[in-house]
Amino acid sequence: MCDFEVSTEELVRDFAADREELAAMFKACADHFGDMVQLSDEGLRIPMKGRPLTRMIARHFDAYDLSKAGHSSAI
């Protein structure tokens, strides 16, 4: 996400990710964020207009559910 894109090929190669699961995750993200993300066969990309939402988009893929806390616990 540091480069505002996620490559399906890299995730499959580096982490043995399942293509179908990735496609489903990317589609769910695109459904949620609309035109703030761009979905393609290569993966998911955040265009310039969606970049202010990058943290929210990345959180969509986070395995930890912070919805109850609403913020980090670091104080």
Within 10 A of 26 (CB to CB), how many other CB atoms are there? 20
Query: To which H or E segment does residue 66 belong?
Result: none
Q: 15-52: per-residue pLDDT in tens?
A: 999 999 999 999 999 999 999 999 999 999 999 999 99
Q: Is 63 helix (H, G, I), strand (E, B) or coil?
A: coil
Backbone φ/ψ region at 48: left (φ over 0), alpha (ψ -120 to 50), beta: alpha
pTM of the model: 0.79
For residue 46, how many other CB atoms are within 10 A of its CB? 22
Q: Does residue 67 have a pLDDT over 90? A: no
Q: What is the pLDDT of residue 14?
A: 96
Average pLDDT score over residue span 41-64: 92
Q: What is the pLDDT of residue 12?
A: 96
Between 68 and 10, the more confident residue is 10
